Amino acid sequence: MTDFHVYDTTLRDGAQQEGLNLSVADKLTIARHLDALGVGYIEGGWPGANPKDTEFFRRAAGELDLTCATLAAFGSTRRAGAVAAEDPQVRALLDAQTTVVTLVAKSHITHVTDALRTTLDENLAMIHDTVSFLAGQGRTVFLDAEHFFDGFALDPGYAMEVVRTASEAGAAVVVLCDTNGGMLPPQVGDVVAKVLTDSDTLLGIHCHNDTGCAVANSLAAVDAGAMHVQGTVNGYGERTGNADLVTVVSNLQLKQGRAVVDPERLARALHLSHAISEVTNVVPYSRQPYVGVSAFAHKAGLHASALKVDPDLYQHTDPSLVGNSMRTLVSDMAGRASIELKARELGYDLSGRPELVARVVARVKRLEQEGWTFDAADASFELLLREEVTGERPSYFDTESWRIITESRPGQESVSEATVKLHAGGGRAVATGEGNGPVNALDHALRGALATAYPELNDLELIDFRVRILDAAHGTDATTRVLIETGDGSETWQTLGVAPNIVQASWTALVDSFTYGLLRRGVTPR
C-alpha cells in the first residue's frame, strides 16, 4: 500500500462546517496533529481566494516541520477564456510553494453550462491547460472532479472525458467527488469500477455524509480500486460533514489489513482526535466510532458478565489500537459483573468479596431509582466505591453551612453572592464569592475557603454544568439532577448531585468534584 494516499481536508473542506472558524494559528496546530496521525497529505486551504489561507501557507513554509505529511494547496482551474500561466488564482497556487496542488473542476454538464457559464469544450480546455501548466512547473497535481457521481449518472461520456483530459494533461490522481453526498455504497463501487475499466488513471474518492454513508462510500470506492481517499478528522464539513478520516483509516487498517498508516501513529488516534476538537472548539462526539469515549463503553449486566470472561466477546477490536480503552458503565442495569469490572478499572479487586459487591449493586440500584445516574459520573461512583470498600467517604473538609443571595435590579444583570463556612487544615474558614449565578458564586466561595489548606485547587477548572429535571410532572417541586465536569489540564471527570433543590444538587456535585480532584492528585486531608 505504499502508493495509497490518505488525504486530509480538515483545514479546507472541514473548516466549512457551520460555526467552525479557524485562525491561522489554529490551522498550524491542527496540521501538526494531522502529521502526528500519519496522514499522507494535508490540504491547507485556498491561497489567493482567502487571505487567511494565503497567510497560512506563508507561515507554514517557515513554521511547519512535517515529518510524515505533504502540504497541498487547493484551487480551481483557470477562468474561462483566460491563460493558465496568467490567471492570478493559478499563480497564487504557485506562490503557496507547496509541492502538491489540488484543483477542483466541473464534471457535471449542467454545472458547466449553468454554474460555470461556459461550454463543455472550454471546461475541458480549462482542465487541460491548468493541469499541464502546474505539472510543467514541477507540481504534483491532483484533480477533484466535482459532482462526479451525479454527473456520471447524467452524462457518463462527458464525466469520463474529464477524467481522461486531466490524466493526459499530467494529473497524478483524479478524485471522484460525491459533492452532494447523495450516493450509496453500491452506486459508488459500480462507478469507480467502470471508470477504472475505461481509464488507467489513479483514482481517488471524496465523499460527503448527507446519506450517512460517507465512510461506507469511501470504503466501497477503495474496494473497487481507488488508491486515494479524502476526508476530515471527526467528520467535520459543510451540511452533515465529510467522511470521517479516522474511521476510514481505522477500518482500512484494522478490518482489511491494509498498511495505511504507522500502527504507532494510529494508536494515538483518540488523543489527536480530541486534541483537534479542543482547537476547533467542537465538543467531541461521544459515540464516534473507534475514538468516541463511548465507543467501547458497556452498560448492560449481560455484556459485563461476558466481558469478564473475554473482552473480545462484546468488542469488535482492541480499543488500544486507536488509543481508546474499554469502560464499564454503572447504572440500574448493573449486575455483579459490571461492578467488579468497573472496580477493576478503578484499581480495586473485588473478586472473592461477594457481600461487598452485592452491597454496592444494591446501593447503586437504590440511588438510580432516586435519580442518580453513575454511567455519566465515574468520579462520583469511585467516591461511593471507596466509601463501601474502606467504610468511610474521602473528606477534605467539614461543611458548617453555606448560603446564596441573588440580587436583581431592573435593567441590570443579576449577581449571586455565596458564603461558605467550613473546617479544614485545622481551622475554621469563612469565605464569600460572587458569580453570574448561584453555582458560579458557590464555586468561588468554596475555593476561597479552601485556598489556604488546599492550594492544589487552583489547578482545577469547571468545564461544563448540566441540569436535568426529573419527574417534571411535579413542576417546580421536581427533583433536579446536576452533572458537573471538571478538569485539571490533563484529565477531566464528572460528578453528580441529585436533590429537590437545584442549588443543593449543585453543591453536592461541586464538593464531589473538588474531593475527587484532590484525591487523584494524592493530596492527604489536612
* Stretch 60-87: mean pLDDT: 94
Determine whether 332 is exposed, middle or buried from the number of CB atoms within 10 Å of its CB (0-12, 13-18, 19+). Answer: middle
What pLDDT is recorded for position 330? 57
Where is average pLDDT lowest: 218-232, 276-290, 325-339?
Answer: 325-339
CB 9, CB 43: distance < 8 Å: yes
Give the Cα separation of 132 and 68 in Å (integer). 27
Domains, the chain, with CATH or none: 5-280 (3.20.20.70), 297-369 (no CATH), 398-520 (3.30.160.270)
Q: Give pLDDT tens digits for 193-210.
A: 999 999 989 999 999 999
3-state secondary structure 100-124: EEEEEEECCHHHHHHHCCCCHHHHH
* Stretch 488-501: mean pLDDT: 87
If pLDDT is split at 50, 70 and 90, which confidence band does 328 have?
Answer: low
| Contacts for 493 with CB less than 8 Å, ≥ 6 apart | 378, 379, 485, 486, 487, 513, 516, 517, 520
- Answer with the residue of higher pLDDT: 330 or 9: 9
For the record, the C-alpha cell of 19 comes out as: 460555526
pTM above 0.85, yes or no: no
If pLDDT is split at 50, 70 and 90, which confidence band does 253 have?
Answer: very high
Where is average pLDDT lowest: 213-227, 380-394, 442-456?
Answer: 380-394
336 pLDDT above the threshold of 80: no
368 pLDDT above the threshold of 90: no
Relative orientation angle of helices 336-345 and 354-369, to the nearest 10 degrees: 100
271 pLDDT above the threshold of 90: no
Q: Give pLDDT tens digits for 20-52.
A: 999 999 999 999 999 999 999 999 999 988 899
Q: Is 169 left (phi over 0), alpha (psi -120 to 50) or beta?
A: alpha
1 pLDDT above the threshold of 50: no
Q: Give pLDDT tens digits for 379-429.
A: 888 898 888 888 888 899 999 999 999 988 888 888 999 999 999 989 999
356 pLDDT above the threshold of 90: no
* Stretch 7-20: mean pLDDT: 94
Where is average pLDDT lowest: 23-32, 106-115, 470-479?
Answer: 470-479
224 pLDDT above the threshold of 60: yes
347 pLDDT above the threshold of 60: yes
- Answer with the residue of higher pLDDT: 430 or 1: 430
